[in-house]
Amino acid sequence: MYQSIKSTFIDLFSKEPLLVYSPGRINLIGEHTDYNGGYVLPAAIDKKMVVAIAANDSGIGRIYSVDFKEEFSFDIASFSPKKGHWATYVMGVVSQLQQAGYAVKGFDMVFGGDIPVGAGLSSSAALECAVGFALSELFGLNIPKKSIVHYAQKAEHTFAGVQCGIMDQFASVMGKKSHAIRLDCRTLEFDYFPIDLGAYKILLIDTQVKHSLADSAYNQRRLECEEGVSAAKQIQSDIKDLRDVSLDLLGQLDLPSVVYDRCRFVVEENQRVLDSCDLLSKGDLEGFGEKVYQSHEGLSKLYEVSCDELDFLVDYTKEVSGVLGSRMMGGGFGGCTINIVHEDIIGQLQKDVSEAYERKFNKSPKFYIVSPEEGTGLL
């Protein structure tokens, strides 16, 4: 993959590029907690977005997408968002760096990778992070890695129009082999949490669907959480985020039932992250698996970000011995489930799930066995 991106670059621009990568991510548990000041447990994976880049003298950003087989150019000195177009993720990061006072000059870029798009593995965050890191390296900007995380997130807000939390970009940049990142999304304090699942593997099952309401529903969930926080502040003024709200306090608030359900999910999910870390530290994989199933139940019934395909896949595994836990992962409305599966049954499970899923939805799922890997770097 790296070689083909590099040779595409040389064919198009007739010079040697700098090559950088940034990975996609999984999340073991802690969904929709990041923008509520809570905890998450993600990891970078061995699926990457790769950027080949070199400077030009023309003040133009020239980008070629290997996957879309399409070129796009913009004037570095004057440009605006192009929502819905892949180039907006690149331009969003350039814009953030410029606003922070970094001198970004003209560049030629080719990007591509093996993170499936729309599968909930954060291909867009990986692209943003790769672009931030590539520009920093190319122009000697020395941008700290945590700032790249921040600019990539802001690019998503301003140029893609999704009010995402910090998890995806943080995991992509800061990932570490064999470890998850236990991240406090309010303070950004984190530690690397060793992931040793013994004979169990992390199997992602890709529904191959991405329902179109995903972005607007995501922003809507954020607003519902903020409504809960505003009501809680009336009673307890030191509350900053849903992370500070107890179930007890939540029960005292006069909230519309939908808002109550959303907030209840977040409060419970946040606790599940902390409990899961305790369980994993003790090697209690069964206990962790139960938390994973509970997480899905909440995402589906209270937070309502699941869909028939995801629910089907999770329910299917409940009958299979050798699966410890399963849940939808990421923003929702499609993408992948994450499953903790004994290595001896993975082959059979894939076969059985494929048949059942095809019968029900008339399409085939995809499977990826993944493990925690290193974050953003030079190739």
179 annotated as a binding-site residue: no
120 annotated as a binding-site residue: yes
Query: By the 8 A CB rule, do 179 and 192 touch?
Result: yes
Shortest separation between residue 64's beta carbon and ligand GAF, angstroms: 26
216 annotated as a binding-site residue: no
Nearest to 6 by CA among 105, 108, 122, 80: 108
156 annotated as a binding-site residue: yes
Cβ neighbours, 10 Å, residue 9: 25
Q: Give the residues across from 182 on adjacent strands.
A: 191
Put residue 139 in one of left, alpha, beta given phi > 0 → left and psi -120 to 50 → alpha.
alpha
Nearest residue (CB) to ligand GAF, 5 versus 204:
204
Separation of alpha carbons 27 and 266, rounded Å: 15
Shortest separation between residue 337's beta carbon and ligand GAF, angstroms: 14
Shortest separation between residue 166's beta carbon and ligand GAF, angstroms: 7
Q: Which amino acid is at 7?
A: S
Element (H, E) at 209: strand 200-210
Shortest separation between residue 296's beta carbon and ligand GAF, angstroms: 13
Nearest residue (CB) to ligand GAF, 203 versus 299:
299
230 annotated as a binding-site residue: no
Nearest residue (CB) to ligand GAF, 8 versus 153:
153
303 annotated as a binding-site residue: no
Q: Which residues bind ligand GAF (CB under 6 A)?
A: 31-32, 34-35, 122, 164-165, 167-168, 330-331
Nearest residue (CB) to ligand GAF, 8 versus 376:
376
Nearest to 32 by CA among 304, 249, 376: 304
Cβ neighbours, 10 Å, residue 147: 18
Sheet with 377-378: list strands edge to edge: 70-75, 60-65, 107-113, 42-55, 18-27, 377-378
123 annotated as a binding-site residue: yes
33 annotated as a binding-site residue: yes
Nearest residue (CB) to ligand GAF, 141 versus 277:
277
Instruction: Check 168, 241, 244, 261 and give the catalytic one.
Output: 168
Query: By the 8 A CB rule, do 231 and 242 touch?
Result: no
Nearest residue (CB) to ligand GAF, 104 versus 336:
336
Active site residue 275: no
Shortest separation between residue 149's beta carbon and ligand GAF, angstroms: 11
**Backbone torsions φ then ψ of 323, nearest 5 degrees:** -105, 120
Exposure b/e, 263-275, CB count within 10 A at least 16 = b: bbbbbbbbbbbeb
Cβ neighbours, 10 Å, residue 75: 11
Shortest separation between residue 76's beta carbon and ligand GAF, angstroms: 27
> What's the number of CA atoms in the CB half-sphere (13 Å) around residue 272?
27
Residues that constitute the known binding site for ATP: 65, 118-124
Residues that constitute the known binding site for substrate: 31-34, 218
By annotation, the residues acting in catalysis are 168
Residues that constitute the known binding site: 31-34, 65, 118-124, 156, 218
Residues that constitute the known binding site for Mg(2+): 124, 156
